[in-house]
Amino acid sequence: MEIIKRGAEAIIYLATWKGRKVAIKKRIKKGYRIKELDEKTREQRTKREALLMMAARKAGVSIPIIYDLRLNEKEIVMQYIDGYRLKDIIDEKNEEWQKKICNQIGKNIANLHKNGIIHGDITTSNMIYKNGRIYFIDFGLGMKSEEIEDRGVDLHLLMEAFKAAHRNKNLFSWVIETYEENFEEAEEVIKKIDEIARRGRYMRRIS
C-alpha cells in the first residue's frame, strides 16, 4: 500500500481490493487516550463517517463508493477517484468553467443540507474533479444536523477557504446562487453566514 495523504486523525492509502484500485482511510491510534477509549472513539468515528457518506450518496451527492467497512481495523475501503483536487486546478480555468463548477458545488451542498448532513470541512481540498463532476471527500468532521448554525458554519468555512486560497472573488457568490435555488431554507442560512463572519471580525478586534 502507498500512503497518499497523512492527516492528524487518519492516513489514506492507495491499494487494490478485489481487483479494484481503492483508497483506504484508516483512523490512527492516539497515545494520549486510554486504549479502550481510543478503540471505541476511532470505531465510532469510522462508522459515523461511513454512514454520512452513504447518506450523502443517497441524497444525490457524488462521493466515493464504499466497498467495505472494517470497524475492527478502523478502516473504510472506498472507490479511488483518480481525478484532480479542485484546489489545484480551479485557478487555472476560465470564468465560465469556474461558474459551472461552483454552481455544481452549490447544488451538492444544498442536497446535503436538505438531508440533514453537515460536511464539516468543505474546502476545495476536499473536492475531487473528474470528468465534469465534483466528488466530495473526507466526511471525518461531519455530522447529522438540521440546525441553521451548523449549516452556516459549513458554508462560512467554504467562503473563507475561497478567500484564502483562490483569486476569483465571485466563486462563493456562484455557489450561493445555486444553493439558494435548490434549498428553501437558504435565506436563513445566508443570514447566519453573515452573522458568523461578523462574530469573527469582532473576535479579531478584541483579541
Residue 68, by phi and psi: left (phi above 0), alpha (psi -120 to 50) or beta? beta
Task: Report pLDDT digits (tens) over 13-72.
Answer: 999 999 999 999 999 988 787 888 999 999 999 999 999 999 999 999 999 999 999 999
Residue 206: pLDDT band by 50, 70, 90 thresholds? very low
SS3 assignment, position 41: helix
Residues with Cβ within 8 Å of 131's Cβ and at least 6 positions away in sequence, in order, are 83
Task: Report pLDDT digits (tens) over 86-113.
Answer: 999 999 999 999 999 999 999 999 999 9
Which residues, in sequence order, are bridge partners of residue 196? none
Q: Where do runs of H (alpha helix) occur along the chain?
A: 35-58, 86-89, 95-114, 148-165, 171-182, 186-206
- pLDDT for 33: 79
Report the C-alpha gap between 58 and 201 in whole angstroms: 37
**Mean pLDDT, the chain, integer:** 93
SS3 assignment, position 147: coil
Which residues are catalytically annotated?
121
Residue 201: pLDDT band by 50, 70, 90 thresholds? low
CB distance 107 to 177 below 8 Å = no
CATH class of the structural domain 2-79: alpha beta
pTM, to two decimals: 0.91
Task: Output 9-18 pairs: Cβ under 8 A, ≥24 positions apart.
Answer: 9/45, 9/140, 10/140, 14/80, 15/77, 17/67, 17/68, 17/77, 18/67
CATH number for region 84-206: 1.10.510.10
- Other CB atoms within 10 Å distance of the CB of residue 10: 22
Grid look-up 479502550 returns 36
- CA 103 → CA 27, 73, 95, distances in Å? 33, 38, 12
What are the boundaries of each domain within the chain?
2-79, 84-206
SS3 assignment, position 67: strand
Report the C-alpha gap between 49 and 60 in whole angstroms: 17
